[in-house]
Amino acid sequence: MGCNHGARCMGYHAGMRRLFAAVLFLLVLGSSAPCVRGEAYDAKPKLVVILVIDQFRGDYLDRFRDSFTTANGFNLFLKKGAYFNDCYFDYANTKTAPGHATIGTGAYTDGHGIGSNEWWDLRRNTDRVVSSVEDERYRIVGNFEDLPVLPGTVILPTAARIGASPLNLHATTIGDEVRLATGGQAKLFGISLKDRASILPSGQTANAAYWIDQASGRFISSTYYMAKLPDWVIAFNTGPRIAQAVKEAGLADTNEFYNLVGRTTAANSYELDFAKALIENEKLGQDPVTDVLTVSLSANDILGHQMGPDSDDEKQMVLSLDHDIDSFFTWLDEKVGLANVVVAFTADHGIAPIPAEAAKLGVASASIDLDALGVSIDAALNKRFSPGMKKEYLMPTQELPYIQLDPRAFPKTVTEKDAEQAVADAIPAAFRALGPPPSPPNNNLTVEGDRKYSDTRLDANPTVAFVRTRVDLADGKIPATEFGRLIAHSYTANGDWYVMVVPTAYQMEYLNGIRTTHFSPWSYDRHVPLGFYGAEFVPGYYRQQVAPVDIAATLASLLGVNAPSASVGHVLTFALKDAAGR
Cα–Cα distances in Å, from 529 out to 149, 390, 506, 524?
40, 48, 21, 12
x/- mask, Zn ion, residues 348-387, rule CB under 5 A, reads x---------------------------------------
Taking alpha carbons only, the member of 391, 395, 411 closest to residue 403 is 395
Q: What is the SS3 assignment for 440?
A: coil
The least CB distance from residue 187 to Zn ion, in Å, is 26
Cα–Cα distances in Å, from 37 out to 24, 27, 30, 304, 336?
10, 11, 14, 43, 17
Cα–Cα distances in Å, from 290 out to 22, 86, 199, 383, 481?
18, 29, 20, 62, 41
The least CB distance from residue 59 to Zn ion, in Å, is 17
- Give the footprint of Zn ion on residues 322-351 (CB under 5 A): 348
- Give the footprint of Zn ion on residues 82-101 (CB under 5 A): 96
- How many residues touch Zn ion (CB under 5 A)? 4
Is 399 one of the binding residues for Zn ion (CB under 5 A)?
A: no
Choose one: 49-57, 260-268, 327-335, 505-513; the region binding Zn ion (CB under 5 A). Answer: 49-57
The least CB distance from residue 100 to Zn ion, in Å, is 7
Question: Between 179 and 194, whose beta carbon lies closer to Zn ion?
Answer: 194
The least CB distance from residue 96 to Zn ion, in Å, is 3
Beta strands 208-212 and 188-192 are parallel
Question: Between 301 and 525, whose beta carbon lies closer to Zn ion?
Answer: 301
Is 296 one of the binding residues for Zn ion (CB under 5 A)?
A: no
Cα–Cα distances in Å, from 89 out to 109, 529, 533?
11, 10, 21
Contacts of 127 (CB under 8 A, 6+ apart): none
Is 54 one of the binding residues for Zn ion (CB under 5 A)?
A: yes
In three state form, how does the secondary structure of 183-227 look? CCCCCEEEEECCHHHHHHHHCCCCCEEEEECCCCCCEEEECCCCC
Tell me the residue number closest to Zn ion, measured at CB.
96
The least CB distance from residue 97 to Zn ion, in Å, is 8
Cα–Cα distances in Å, from 321 out to 209, 243, 313, 344, 544?
22, 20, 12, 16, 26
Choose one: 54-62, 219-227, 326-334, 362-370; the region binding Zn ion (CB under 5 A). Answer: 54-62
The least CB distance from residue 49 to Zn ion, in Å, is 19
Identified binder of Zn ion from the candidate list 135, 301, 322, 326, rule CB under 5 A: 301
Q: How many CB atoms lie within 10 A of CB 344?
A: 25
The least CB distance from residue 136 to Zn ion, in Å, is 24
Question: Between 134 and 301, whose beta carbon lies closer to Zn ion?
Answer: 301
The least CB distance from residue 301 to Zn ion, in Å, is 5
Is 134 one of the binding residues for Zn ion (CB under 5 A)?
A: no
CA 360 to CA 365: how far, in whole Å? 9
Question: Between 177 and 301, whose beta carbon lies closer to Zn ion?
Answer: 301
Rule CB under 5 A: which residues touch Zn ion?
54, 96, 301, 348
